[in-house]
Amino acid sequence: MTPFSFCLRRAVLANANLRAGSHPDAVFGRWRPKLWGFAYRMLGSCSRADRVAETIAQRWSGVCRSATMVNPRLWLMVAAVTQCQAETRAAKRRHELPLGPWLPEPLVGPLTPGAADVAGDDSMSFAFLIALHRLGPGERAAVLLQDVFGASSGEIATSLGKKPAVCQQMLKRARRRLIQPGRRSTMATHDRDRLTNGLFAALRSGDGNDFAALLTPDAELRCDGGVIPGSPRRFIKGRMPVARFLAGLLQKQPLPLYPVPRLVNGVPGLMIYAGGRMLGTLAFTPDARAGKIADIFLTRTPDRMSLGEAV
């Protein structure tokens, strides 16, 4: 029995039918954004999330043509978990492992006047996705099924093929691990704008002191550009080491940098250009109590820059 046959069988056993008069394409269209969001959070890759959504769309079409009655929401949840697991196994076979610290592919959109007002929603932020990927695949799936689809413990158990009591314990353990003690990242819009503008000015000046003035003493930098000369293979920790690295990076750049404010994974950040070419994205997590930047996320890997601006 194939994974999709198995997930279909489990969904059918829920005894909930596709509502009479609902066109299959319309039903799938309503759920596709959540399906894509689940896959992106699970995998950290836009291209792989696209593949998951497209594969499930094809399977969905085939199921509906066969006139099998299914619960669309539960079927899609089970299919999403199954296909994300298949994508993860395929990536391991292809040895798609980062050379530097792991970062998700950036989701970049225009920074419109009202966009920064929703910056308190960290569900797509780099910090949250990195914390998610510290969990095991089962724990990550359980959290996202609950957060994205609003799944009950029984539905999570069906989707993961586990007992409800096991899933409840898994969720409790995962939620505890996602909490970052001692740090509050939600910040007023004008304070976050102050930090974004400060980074903008520091990138233009290239002065390490300008960077240092924006950072907490225990600031960390994570960069995914392990294939690029000069990119760190490990985290950089501490205000002055981070400031020196950023200033040194600018000194090695032959052309002047041109940072452009953008929304990066749901929070204000910067796209960095030089000579008309996009070099990467920069996002950060603030420490609201200190009023400074606690974490910087720098995306430099060239093949991840093809994303461009996705609204």
**Cα–Cα dist 290/215, whole Å:** 9
pLDDT band at 13 (very low <50, low <70, confident <90, very high): very low
State the Cα–Cα distance between residues 248 and 127, nearest whole angstrom.
25
- Alpha-carbon dihedral sign for residues 205, 206, 207, 212: positive
Which pLDDT value is given to residue 112? Answer: 55
Looking at this protein, which amino acid is placed at residue 6? F
| Residue 83 near residue 56 (C-beta atoms within 8 A) | yes
Say if residue 165 is exposed, middle or buried (CB neighbours under 10 Å; 0-12, 13-18, 19+): exposed
Which tokens sit at 183?
Answer: 């740090």
Q: What pLDDT was estimated at residue 185?
A: 64
**Residue 96: is its pLDDT beyond 90?**
no
- The whole-angstrom separation of Cα 229 and Cα 215 is 25
Mean per-residue pLDDT, 274-303: 85
Give yes or no for residue 292 having a pLDDT over 60. yes
Query: How large is the average pLDDT for residues 285-289?
Result: 87
Residue whose pair of structure tokens reads 């820059």 in the numeric block: 305
pLDDT given at position 230: 59
- Cα gap 297→36, rounded to integer Å: 23
Q: Which of 95, 92, 32, 20 is CA-nearest to residue 61? A: 32
CA torsion sign, 134 to 307 to 247 to 249?
Answer: positive
Q: pTM to 2 decimals? A: 0.83
In the structure, what pLDDT confidence band is assigned to residue 159 with cuts at 50, 70 and 90? very high
Please write the tens of the pLDDT for every residue from 67-84. 554 578 888 999 999 999
Between CA 250 and CA 169 the distance in angstroms is 47
Mean pLDDT of the chain: 80
**Which residues 6+ apart lie within 8 Å of 235 measured at CB?**
101, 220, 221, 222
Model confidence band, residue 268 (pLDDT cutoffs 50, 70, 90): confident
Give the list of residues 6+ apart from residue 73 with CB closer than 8 angstroms, or none.
Answer: 31, 149
Using DSSP, state whether 105 is helix, strand or coil.
coil
Q: Which amino acid is at 246?
A: L
Residue type at position 195: L
90 vs 139, more confident: 139
The vertex-87 CA angle with 82 and 91, nearest 5°, equals 150
CA dist list (Å): 33 to 30, 85, 109, 149: 7, 19, 16, 11
Average pLDDT over residues 150-158: 92
Phi, psi of 70 (to 5 degrees): -135, 165
- The pLDDT of residue 129 is 92
Q: What percent of the chain has pLDDT over 90?
A: 39
Q: Which domains does the chain have, with CATH numbers?
A: 3-97+136-178 (1.20.140), 189-302 (3.10.450.50)
Indicate whether 228 pLDDT > 80: no
At 117, the pLDDT band (50, 70, 90 cuts) reads: very low
pLDDT band per the 50, 70, 90 thresholds, residue 15:
very low
> What pLDDT, on a 0 to 100 scale, did the predictor assign at position 16?
41
Q: Let me know: does 138 contact 166? Beta carbons within 8 Å.
A: no
